[in-house]
Amino acid sequence: MIELKSRRPWVLLSSLLILVGVAAFLVFPLDHEQSPIGYASKHAAPYKAPRQNVWAELTEGEAADVNNFILKEFAHLDLKKHPKSARDNFIFVVETLKPNKTDAASYLYNDGPSPPERWAKAAIAQNLKDGPYMIYYMVGPLPISKDSVILPLEYVFNSGRNYVQNPMKDYTAIQDFALALAENVSDITQELLGATANRQNPSDPHGLLAVPRGSRVDAGGLTLWLQFYRPGMSSGARTLLPQGIYAKVDATSSDVNEWIVSQFYYNGVLYEDAEHFRAAVDGPDFERTPPNLDGPWTDTEDFESHPPGRELPPPVSVQPYGPRYRLDRKERFISWFGFEFYITTAQATGVSLFDIRFNGERVMYELGLQEAMAHYAGDDPMQGGLEFMDTFFGMGKNAFELVPGYDCPAYADYLDAEWHQAYQTHHTPNSICVFEYTADYLLSRHTSQYSVTASRNTFLTVRSVSTVGNYDYTIDYIFYMDGTLEVKVRASGFIFGAFYTANNTKSEDQYGHRIHEALSSSMHDHVINFKADLDVAGPKNDMVRMAIEPFTSTYEWDQPEQPKRNTMHLVEYPVTEEAGIDWPKNSGEFYIVYSSDEKNAWGERKGYRITPGTGMGSTPHLTILNSTTLGDSARWAEHDIWVLKQKDTEPRSADPLNFFAPHDPIIDFTKMADGESLEHTTSDTSYDGDLVLYFNVGAHHVPTSQDVPNTLMHTSASSVMFVPHNFADRDPSRGSVQGVRLQMSGKKSGGFAGEEHEPSGDLRSRQMGRKLEGQDRTKASYFGATYESAIKLPLEAFEPDMAGYSSKEHDVTDLSISYKVGAAGV
């Protein structure tokens, strides 16, 4: 227990209640149904959202009804409930089809009497004449009734189709092929690596895996490179343990039995086939590389070291009186100091927010992840063409249970998530947390002649963590008391390393650094795309680039002493057509979205500024030009910000199935950002001024030895902020922030500069604070509540009981065998 020293006694009447309840609200649950919500939100009067969450994910019952309806209506497809391979037809995914904005707007903003129709989206694996496909359908309206139908879902894709061919027709056969290949060269791998593949136990920690990676995707099939890795499939550190043997496979045939193993690559040398490789190994001039062996160097924990200070626990944040935000758990609606918004999830993209308002005015209709891409560079057959599109693996379904007291404060509210795949509903407990936090820096402060004022910086965070293969992405939506919003992403986990060869003629130092005996870092770009559908004080908006430019001017009051003055001024450049924009040099431009109609009390247009946030500097876009690997699947990564018209037919910048068809994606962003006019002031235009921004966060990651074993989050943080720009008449945080005004000793203490001192008068007449009881009024005065009495907190408030951690063992996405995650792997 710990005691916080009392400064005021007036809330003693509530102390008994607090002491009785405080243990309940900070103890982590024994199972997911005892979600670790705060005492106040658990026992206070229920809070209800003003309207229904029309974007909510399907319930388990809705998903079951949709599955059963498809099974009935598509009986001719002989859909399998337990598919054996991609050659079977089956329902892969069902989820909510988010309503069109135009349909939702009348319900949200125009007092529509009923919410828009609810529909589901289904991805069905269908085996056609030329192989397996993934095909999208829309099912509804819900609930399922005699009026419900199944239609091709086409209007949200600009490719002219609602399907993508699955290039991997039989993943089990591919695994068998890779094992057979490894067995055929087991003498070579034993000689060079000291290990062989174990067909009986592919997870053998002492064995090898031959992992395929497609280097070319064509309509006629694949060309694969297979690289050997150790140890087995259960190792989390396998991306640090590449082995330097690569095999090339001609996989253009649809029949895996017709695939041909051709070249081998080792230590910078390309061999025509296995026999030439074997002969070279036996030769006198063969140059070997050191082995890349596992060991304590890949351990993420050190239980043995005891530097001074580690014997004491670190400081933590506590919330003795419960949360100050209001939460409707059923509708996933939150209200906090002027902000209001809805939360929803999707298995591909994770958490999104809708209908964000501040002090009753509209700010954004939608804010959410679109895609998380990583693109590598290197001079070996694996790293040279490596890229990942993480929504394909599922940023939502791979958002696992958060660790209380570590991922989020012990006092956070935790929300569960559900997703529906292969006829099953998967429940992930406590995968989203909501909490208030007070920063280690102030929101504002000022020392004047007579007093100093300090305002605490308390903000609200909605957080989730998605573990996609080797990386853990912490995604935060942060709300500040002045109306600012921030989207922040931090990454940790194991890097995807490259094998470091012993060949001095190699060029691998162009792509990274040697970071272990036989391991090189591999440079890569993380570009993570978000959508921000801004409705600043309404849907009718304009975007401008407000530049800060030097210029020379003449002023009448400056004559004759200064004929010309070199200075600077603001120049506004309207963004009049859809375009991609990069952050300016020297931060020399402000990017602002203004309301076209609404102004504040001073006649200035209400706006929000878009700017790099509190991460490691300006957010990046993709370095590679016209990526031969990505094709047209991620053109949004080529600039920092994009401004587009809002269209119901363009709800997303990407689709998970773009990963299957990068050169002919189902959503081609270039067809969205096609230079259409954003002018809406003339009478002959059909555009109403409703614009959408797509913006990127991420990093140019060049790992160093400090990334072993894991990349650290404070070195990988990236964010974009949306900051009010004349949106209000004054700083809104003044009415909600907590702080203190300290009055300096002296005859005029507590007064304001420029005022005549009146000893008998109240020199703090402008201040809304109250003085400490029993103390002289010239000492301190507080605005907002303060802690008033001693509070005893249980141990769980500082170190939650992990015996109650409720997660079960699960499969973490294996990026190095990425095609398994598609229809072939179900």
CB 339 within 8 A of CB 357: yes
Backbone angles phi, psi at 781, to 5 degrees: -145, 135
390 part of the active site? yes
Q: What is the C-alpha to C-alpha distance for residues 474 and 467, in angstroms, rounded to an integer?
A: 9
Torsion sign over Cα 289, 292, 295, 298: positive
CB 58 within 8 A of CB 139: no
Q: What is the C-alpha to C-alpha distance for residues 445 and 105, in angstroms, rounded to an integer?
A: 40
Q: What is the C-alpha to C-alpha distance for residues 24 and 38, in angstroms, rounded to an integer?
A: 8
Find the distance separating the first CA and the last CA of the chain, reported in whole Å. Answer: 50
Beta 498-499 vs 541-553: how paired, if at all?
unpaired
Residues with Cβ within 8 Å of residue 183, at least 6 apart in sequence: 196, 197, 199
Residues with Cβ within 8 Å of residue 257, at least 6 apart in sequence: 173
Angle 427-431-433 from CA coordinates, rounded to 5°: 140
Pick the catalytic residue from 390, 472, 525, 640: 390
Torsion sign over Cα 680, 686, 690, 696: negative
DSSP class of 810: -
Q: What is the C-alpha to C-alpha distance for residues 210 and 335, in angstroms, rounded to an integer?
A: 51
Q: What is the C-alpha to C-alpha distance for residues 575 and 643, in angstroms, rounded to an integer?
A: 8
Beta 458-468 vs 770-771: how paired, if at all?
unpaired
DSSP E strands, 687-753 = 691-701, 718-725, 739-743
Backbone angles phi, psi at 97, to 5 degrees: -90, 110
Tokens of 626: 């016209």
| Burial degree of 666 (CB within 10 A; 0-12, 13-18, 19+) | buried
Q: Residue 307 CB: number of other CB atoms within 10 A?
A: 6
Question: How far does CA 412 lie from the centroid of its chain?
Answer: 19
471 part of the active site? yes
Q: What is the C-alpha to C-alpha distance for residues 561 and 74, in angstroms, rounded to an integer?
A: 87
394: left (phi over 0), alpha (psi -120 to 50) or beta: left
**CA-closest candidate to residue 262, choices 243, 282, 279, 277:** 277
**CA-closest candidate to residue 681, choices 596, 616, 745, 606:** 596
Angle 615-479-696 from CA coordinates, rounded to 5°: 40
CB 416 within 8 A of CB 35: yes
Angle 686-687-688 from CA coordinates, rounded to 5°: 110
Tokens 């050659």 sit on residue: 87
Question: How far does CA 41 lie from the centroid of its chain?
Answer: 27
Which residues make beta-bridge pairs with 334? Answer: 327, 341
**CA-closest candidate to residue 822, choices 26, 83, 69, 33:** 83
Pick the catalytic residue from 271, 471, 500, 511: 471
CB 719 within 8 A of CB 487: yes
Amino acid at 790: A
**CA-closest candidate to residue 211, choices 501, 522, 496, 527:** 496
Question: How far does CA 474 lie from the centroid of its chain?
Answer: 6
Q: What is the C-alpha to C-alpha distance for residues 593 and 821, in angstroms, rounded to an integer?
A: 39
CB 740 within 8 A of CB 514: no
Known catalytic residues are 390, 471
